[in-house]
A and B are shown apart, each in its own frame.
Chain A
């Protein structure tokens, strides 16, 4: 059994889930969660809503402040500067020594930068932490234009944030289409159009070359790889995030690569020291088509759940994530994905994509070319039922069968426009198939009209 006290560095979703689950399984363990960023756990994913005035900081806390004391999860707000694995203690920036029995590193990510000229100017920043949000508030007071660099999920959120305050946005995306390292072309193009419909000056295939100062240490423009200068008072750098392992820089004893290296039990090379969440890097991919660094909210949670189980049970389980899922929102368009949908569909797979006329709803199926079993699905502007696709993909249901069940698989609100018929018709036309529409009696239609 592992030793109490459990000390967790990082109060994000991974660290907190782990702490909660340790408590769930072991009512005696002593648990301490340390973070330099905030006193309490808050939802990083909601940072944009604070800036846009949808919520205040306190609304982003998933648990009320009394929760921690009630569950005897001790919290400490401080930065850890080093780890002494022989004496089993942490040292904080104020010199405090904190002993641990078991150490869990859950320090998350930090924005990635690549050393552009001018990236240290005032008004240039990434968005990851509460402190970043405060800076952004400061840096965007009374400005006219911001430039966002990097076409990913945080970039588009930053664009939306600025637009909500009436600030003009130029969005530099290196790729041919928005986020097309993940999205297949049709989806990426749909999002391009949506971004432009929000009056964002989207520059595809454009890279940042340099950030130009106004002479007083503030940003005054950016120069792109085509040599164009775009005047602006703010630059958001959002080309991605990288595991935050600055803490380990002086600790070669804990092995790291891009992230803290762990096995499928989240164990580092040192016994009693674990890493979970964004900062962990698996020595071996946890499953087919899975990356060795998983940087999303959901995986952070699963890491925390699994590690807590292992720390409190004799029989260990290895980390086995189920069917992949993710979701995001691009301005007004929601996106969900289940299973395996690569941006370039390989030859062994077939795909069917449908989009409504207005370009506000789209769905893509990826399925086995020979046997027709479902592999994955993307949907935009159409909510899908997680439980349904988790099962369908896991059990390898026939894709054509799913087509006729789309109403059931849909998670859209009641009275929402139903697209099943249009999707099936398009499928039959394009793929020259003959899938019949789901039949519904008159009575059944009335009965289910409100369900």
Chain B
């Protein structure tokens, strides 16, 4: 490693340390006014009273502040719950909003300085490491030493990274009040793009996009001379930056609902929730377009494009989850489980989630069109179960947190209902396949090892059989790493796509007779 690269790593680690430390600085003071302006009208009176003991006190840390907040708030709610006065219980979670409002922290005074020592320093450090990668090396497979690397083969560094990611996701989804400093820090960026203060989701989207862009540059280095890999990396970088990050924020600037035009139900599981439908319907022509476009994607684009190109058109060229997996997650692709057992678990899980999403959406829509006469607000319960278990725990915590432990496509492989839908089309009605080149396979195992979806590619290749699997996202890495030129991603005639040859090309003894 060159000195410059070492410096890059050091700077990145420093930025990561700052980023991890920032949430815990600053002090917190709550006033009745702050409470009033940050809670719903109907809760104002109670909240002002509940939090009364906190006013005027200056808390030296968010831990202390949040602890006190929770204790007063829960005492109030618990008493009501004990008396079964369910209607009086305050179900809204104000911890995040009030912690953010009460914060007095250096990040508010000097946001750019803090952005500088976290996000910018981190990106620069990473780029310092990435840009000199493979300099002077010829184009080719760059997998030397992966299994000696602690980071990439579930060593201590990998476990540490996984733990950090898991913690980050848990805090982001369920304890965002601890992240308020970071959110405050990125306020100016959010204001500049959408005219609104940042939320924890803006913070998340920003880091997510940065990760894809920076690690996308790494892909450019790693796969120089490999047009397929370069193009699809450029594609996911573009869709993340333009469609997932910038466009939705710009929509907000124009008072439109936040909308990611490339996200498709059922990955976008809330697409048919009442608030989303109402939001779109009440947003004029553009809102109507969002609704119709969303439906076209589901009923026309998915089957049609998947018929022509396989599910890769989405999973490894467009999708945000796929985008992160293919960039940030690329160093971990070899960690996916290739066993037959894992494949069985995969099929139960992913189709289970698809059924869950479809049933939930069905009930939600029926309820919506019956003007809530069927189930009233009960669908909300269903939504929160799905949101908790699938949307947050599965897609986020496990999906990304487990990159360094179970590979970079855990969510896409075991959980994503859209992947399940695309996969059904790909398996049963598509022109896409990975063609096996006759008898050239030497069973070396590079293809299977580097399949992020855990497909045992070699199983098919060594039998001279094409690979037609619902889970294949068409990343093309098996074909790239194959040292014998055995695999090719292709779209072609449906006939002969699934071939079960009795004997592989090259041996005439038996084919002559049979």
Contact = CB atoms under 8 A, between A and B. Distances in A.
Contacts of A387: 437-438, 505
B42 interface: no
Contacts of A431: none
Contacts of B339: 64
A413 B485 CA distance: 9
A325 B439 contact: yes
Interface stretch (A55-63, A138-146, A222-230): A55-63
A9 to B, nearest CB: 20
A414 B228 contact: yes
A415 B449 contact: no
A386 B147 contact: no
B449 A55 contact: yes
Contact of A302 (B148, B226, B488, B506): B506
Nearest to B146: A53
Interface stretch (B136-144, B194-202, B204-212, B261-269): B136-144
Given A45-B444, A334-B485, A414-B489, A54 B227 contact: no
A201 to B, nearest CB: 17
Contacts of A49: 444-446
A328 B484 CA distance: 6
A298 B506 contact: yes
B336 to A, nearest CB: 12
Interface string B296-311: 0000000000000100
Contacts of A53: 143-149
B513 interface: yes
Given A52-B143, A331-B140, A415-B228, A302 B509 contact: yes
Interface in B467-514: 476, 479-480, 483-485, 488-492, 503-513
Contacts of B446: 46, 49, 54-55
Interface in B135-185: 138-141, 143-149
A97 interface: no
A54 B146 contact: yes
Contacts of B138: 194, 197-198, 331-332
A390 to B, nearest CB: 5
Contacts of A417: 227
Nearest to B449: A59
B437 A323 contact: no
Contacts of B484: 327-329, 334, 336
Contacts of B144: 52-54, 164
B458 interface: yes
Interface stretch (A108-116, A248-256, A312-320, A422-430): A312-320
Given A413-B226, A413-B480, A390 B485 contact: no
A352 interface: no
A319 B479 contact: no
23 contacts: A46-B446, A52-B143, A52-B144, A53-B145, A54-B146, A54-B147, A54-B446, A55-B147, A60-B444, A62-B458, A298-B506, A306-B507, A318-B509, A320-B509, A322-B505, A327-B440, A332-B141, A336-B485, A411-B485, A414-B489, A416-B228, A450-B309, A451-B491
Given A46-B445, A331-B138, A416-B227, 20 more contacts: A43-B443, A43-B445, A45-B443, A46-B443, A52-B145, A59-B448, A60-B444, A60-B445, A298-B440, A302-B507, A305-B503, A317-B512, A321-B509, A322-B506, A322-B507, A325-B438, A327-B442, A411-B435, A413-B476, A451-B491
